[in-house]
Structures are given as C-alpha cells and as structure tokens.
Structure 1
Amino acid sequence: MRRPLTAVVAVAVALTASAAGAQPRAVGGRGAAATPVVAADQATRAVHVLRSDVRSWDAGRGTGVLWSWSADGRSELADLEPGSSWSNPSEAKLRELDGHRYLLATASGGLAAVVGYPGREVYWAAHTGPGNAHSIDLLPDGNVAVAASTGGFVRVYAASTGSRATRHAEVPLRGAHGVHWDPRTRLLWALGGRELVALRVDGPADDPGVTVVHRSTLPTRDGHDLAPVLGTKGRLWVTTGTAVYQYATGRHRFVDYPSSSRISAPGVKSVGDDPATGRILLARPEPGHSCVWCTSVLTFHRPDGTKRLVRGAMYKARWWTPRRD
C-alpha cells in the first residue's frame, strides 16, 4: 500500500480564514473544547472547519473559522481543472489512515479529493466524470469509495497505488447519494434513491472488486444522506426526501430512535451526532435562499439551536471527527 505523503506546511490560500492550527479536542468535562463542525460551502467554493461554540461564522472575516480548503488555485490540482470540476462542493468528512488525518471532499462537478489535515497535501484526487460526485469515504487499505447520483454508480478507486490512480471497481446504484465504510461489519454501505445496499470490497488493493451482499428498500423515496450513528453502535443515519431514519446494520431493518419526532424532517441533506456530547447536527435547505438546495443556517438538537454562516450557502455539514463506528 502506498504510504501517505509527508505532511508539509502549505501557504494559506485566500479562502483560509486562519492558520492551519491544531483542532480543538472533543473531550468531556468542564471547559472542554467543543467538537468543531465541517461544512461544504458553495458560496465560497470551499470546505470550512468551524468552531461549534460560537453563535455565527463569517468565512470572509475569519470569524469562528479554524481551517479552510478549496481546490481553486491549487497548482497541484490544475490537471483536474477545478474551475469546472470543483463546482458546487457537496461533501466533507474527516478520516484517519496510518496515523494521518485527511479531509475527504467531493463536488458536483466531479472532483473527489483526499487532502491532508492540516497540511493540505493531496493524498489522492480524481475527476470522476459528470455524474455528480456526492459522497466519499476512505477504506482501511487506503483506497477510496465515491458515490455519484446522476451517474448512478458507486466506485472503489485504487487510491492506495498513487495520487492520481483511476483504476476502479464499480457497481450501479440508481440515485447514489451516500457512501460509508463501516469497520464493525467491514462492509461498504451505499445509499441510493430507493435502497440501502451493503457492499463487500475484495481483491487486492491495486485491483479491487465490489459485490452487493444485501439490499434494503427505503421506507420513503429519494435517499440522500448516509452516516454512522456514533452514539449507538451498529446503526446508520439515513435521510430521504421526507424523513430522517436510523438503520440497524446487524438486523437489516429501520428502527426507532430517541427524539425522532423532533429530528426527522423532509429534505435533510446531512445529519450526524457528536460523539462527545450526543448533540445532533442537521443541514437542510433554507427557505428563500438564492441556492434552493443550500442553507446559511445549521440546526442543532439536544440542546436545540441554530448557527449561521454569514453569506453562506452550505450543502452538507458534519461533526469534525474521524470516528465512523
């Protein structure tokens, strides 16, 4: 397996509101730092890591922004034409591999990237085509899974073989919107428009294979977000066009969960729970926003509240934690 690139201190781009400092630790106890939030912001064409202990953020002034990254202006990505391939950033996650931390990001224009945090070195990046790359995850062997909605596919790229590796295995999945590697089941879970599927990834890392091993029909149509329930082992968050669900991977069924009547809502683009506090974070389109699928306001539950990104057009937002089980 290709080893991750040595971290380097990159010069901050204009969109970086502050130096790439250390992430606040999410630990219990009085005075503990709050777990940050990461958001894919289509207004600035950037991913921002945001403090969760402030009322609002302003990327232009750097208020509440801990770290930012954009494919725009990155010379090492020029061959992937980010001017078009990085249009409408759609996904952002934190993952760990071999002791290194990485931002995982996709954009509707087709760019998918795994970028070192905080140094911004590119571990892997590719133009996945015009299929609306919508979600991404990092596998234990260093390969990368990508789901594309209009392309209707889930791919596993042999990213462990090089930073521009394009060899991949592919399975069709109509309306593919979410992908998540689950270390408990050792399966790659993927969410389509009408079903949740479990995929077995096999073969050598340099020539992976993917096989569907289980399919579950969604309770309602238009599957959108897929994420681990970090407060309850063996469960996944699943959102559709009309509701927010939890799915038990061991039982292969959708199950009830606490406060579902308050959390579940139509059109939720992303959902997740903070492993340090149990607080729930949701991103859903904001009525009247100039971008019909975006929001400048994130919603929180337990306790309830909202926070605003000034002039923001966020699509998905997640807790900035590498945990996935």
Structure 2
Amino acid sequence: MDRRGLLKGVLAGAVAGPAAGLVTAAPASAAPAQFNVLVGDVNSGKIYLFDRNKPFTDANIKWSLNPAGSGHPMEHRFRDTSGDGQILLAATGTPTSGTASIYRRRDKRKLWSANVPNYPHAIERARGTGVVVVAGRSHGSGGGTATGGSLHVFRPTDSHSGSLVRAGSPIPFHQAHGLLWDPQLERMWVTGGKRLTAYRIVTTASSAKLVEDTARRLDEFTRAHDLQPDYRNPGRLLVTDTYGVYAVDTSTMRKSAPLHTRRLVKSYVHHSSGEQMWTGAVEGGNAFGTKWVHFNVSGVARARAGAIIYKARLETPNYR
C-alpha cells in the first residue's frame, strides 16, 4: 500500500506540470544523490542517522541517540551554535506529557531539557538570539480532532544551550505541529490546524517574546502537519496536511496547488539535488507512519525493520 501511494505521488507531481511538481527526471545512469538521513523510531524511542544509499540496518547506523524523557521521538534536527558546536534538538512525548531537549552532537551530552505540558511535535532554535520554541498540540488522543495546542518559548541567559529558561506563558496555537526558523526574513514559521504564520522574536537582556507577523498568516490548510524548507528553492516552504503536500512562497504567501495528493504524509523534504524524501502513515495502519522512508526521484524506499518512522530529516544544520 505504501509503495502504491508513492507511485501516485510521483504521477500526481508529473501530471501537474512544472508549476506544481517537484519531481525532476534524472538520467537513468545518474547515481542517487548522497546524503544522510536522521529518522525517529516511535517503537524504540530512538533517533538514528543513516546513509540514504545503504540499508537502514544496525550495521549501517552512523549515529544514534536515546533522547531524554519517555515517549515518541516527534522531532529531531541538527543546528550549529557558537557556544556548544553542533547540537541536536529533540522533542519527545506522549498524548499526556512531553520533553524538549538539546544534546551536543559530538559526545551526545545532554545540555538542556524541559518538560512541556502538552504533546510536543516540533522544536526549533532561532539563529542569532538562541531562542528555542517548542510546539505542541493539546493533551489526549484524537490526532487531528484534538483541540488546543500551544507554543513554548525559552531564552538563553548566556551563550550556551544549558542556560535556557522559560520566557513567559505558553502562547495558544491550535494544533501546533511544525516550526522552522527563517534566517532570511528573521521569522519563526509555525503551522498547525488550518494555519501557517510567522512570528518575530523580540528580545531584551531579560526577556523574549513572539510577536505575530499577521501579514504572513495563511489559513488555507486542513490539519497542517509538517513544515520544512525547500532546499532547492530558497524562499519556499513545504507544508504537509492531511490531504497533501504544498509549497508556499514566503514573499507572496501564495499556496501552490498540491505537489502530491497522497494523504497522511508525516514529513517531506526537497533536497538540493532534486530528490524528494518523505514518510507517511497508511489508512488503517499505525497513525505515526510505517517502517519506510521514500525517495521519489530515485524510486527507492528504505525500511528500518521493526520500526515506525514518524519523521525523516536531512542531516544538514542549515535552515535553507
């Protein structure tokens, strides 16, 4: 079923044409692009790094981590810092509790963690200020039907991640699911429910707060889920919701026609090579996903035996 869904996605992109599709035809003899993939396994609770061109087996694990807190690894991304080198941002949780944490990549030392009073689905760090934002939907089961959600803001008191402290009360945001810092616009993008919007981060020596840029609000989604940059097309965001994958131009705030119409895509990224990588659930299956990570252009799918992979991220710490 998952492979059929992949084929439908490729065909949908091809039929839609250049304005809507991200699929680029690669020469048959071209080698698949080489990059590393960071995946979160809901079953084991662990995060793994693999070469996308090798089987996702224990023998090929390049890096792994069992993050703080019990629960599902909902978000995992590398970021560069001046104080701590490269770090991993992680969000883990269950429908009743959650943890946001930061690890130094080179030695896996936990630098910081905080309990989040809802079900966290994303964590992001704003370059420059070092402010960290965590997005979570409300408590309880129900997936897309659950109500509520919020953004949690943490500010550093020095140049190190371990100095992060809470900055004010949680900000209500219905079904908060996705976060992405935009260094070009200096905005924190947030998505969830029907909404994609951007926030300015206003800081002083003793405070940090999010101020919505209402000119960049778009209420055109159905249970918006994942939010990623388009690494081949700077200035575009890629947003998934229950019914498909879309691009949004950050200058005009125009939403594209569906790039792919596959339902229940949990994560989606467009690599600079043109490759498209995605994970997703199937109707009647596990709500978090399957054991597969799919690559549209090369037509390859990698499985992690015994795993349920929720999100797959590029190893890169770049925001764009």
Q: Tell me if both proteins adopt one fold, taking TM over 0.5 as the criterion.
A: yes
Query: What residue in structure 1 maps to residue 59 of structure 2?
Result: 63
Separation (CA, whole Å) in 2 of partners of 1:322 and 1:205:
27
Query: What residue in structure 1 maps to residue 130 of structure 2?
Result: 142
1:90 matches 2:74:
yes
Query: Which residues of structure 1 form unaligned runs of 5+?
Result: 1-29, 73-81
- The percent identity for this pair of structures is 24
Count of residues paired in the alignment: 273
SS of 1:120 mapped into structure 2: coil
CA contact (8 A) 1:245 1:254 kept: yes
CA contact (8 A) 1:134 1:149 kept: yes
Question: Residue type matched to 2:85 in 1?
Answer: H
Query: What residue in structure 1 maps to residue 302 of structure 2?
Result: 307
Of 265-274 and 156-165, deviating more is 156-165
Separation (CA, whole Å) in 1 of partners of 2:217 and 2:78:
27
Separation (CA, whole Å) in 2 of partners of 1:205 and 1:319:
34
Query: What residue in structure 2 maps to residue 25 of structure 1?
Result: none
Q: 2:102 aligns with which of 106, 110, 114?
A: 114
Separation (CA, whole Å) in 2 of partners of 1:164 and 1:266:
41
Separation (CA, whole Å) in 2 of partners of 1:139 and 1:168:
14
Separation (CA, whole Å) in 2 of partners of 1:173 and 1:240:
16
CA contact (8 A) 1:146 1:155 kept: yes
Query: What residue in structure 2 maps to residue 163 of structure 1?
Result: 162
Name the structure with the higher strand share: 2
Cα gap change, 1:264/1:116 in structure 2, threshold over 3 Å: closer, same or farther?
Answer: farther
Query: What residue in structure 2 maps to residue 152 of structure 1?
Result: 149
Separation (CA, whole Å) in 2 of partners of 1:204 and 1:122:
27
Of 232-241 and 161-170, deviating more is 161-170
Separation (CA, whole Å) in 2 of partners of 1:205 and 1:71:
31
Shift of 1:287: 5.4
SS of 2:52 mapped into structure 1: coil
Of 96-105 and 180-189, deviating more is 96-105
Shift of 1:33: 8.2
Shift of 1:160: 4.8
Separation (CA, whole Å) in 1 of partners of 2:189 and 2:205:
18
CA root-mean-square deviation: 2.2
CA deviation digits over 1:140-167, x for unaligned, max 9?
2222111111151112211454626442
Separation (CA, whole Å) in 2 of partners of 1:165 and 1:128:
14
Query: Which residues of structure 2 form unaligned runs of 5+?
Result: 1-29, 139-147
Query: What residue in structure 1 maps to residue 265 of structure 2?
Result: 268
Query: What residue in structure 1 maps to residue 145 of structure 2?
Result: none
Cα gap change, 1:193/1:173 in structure 2, threshold over 3 Å: closer, same or farther?
Answer: same
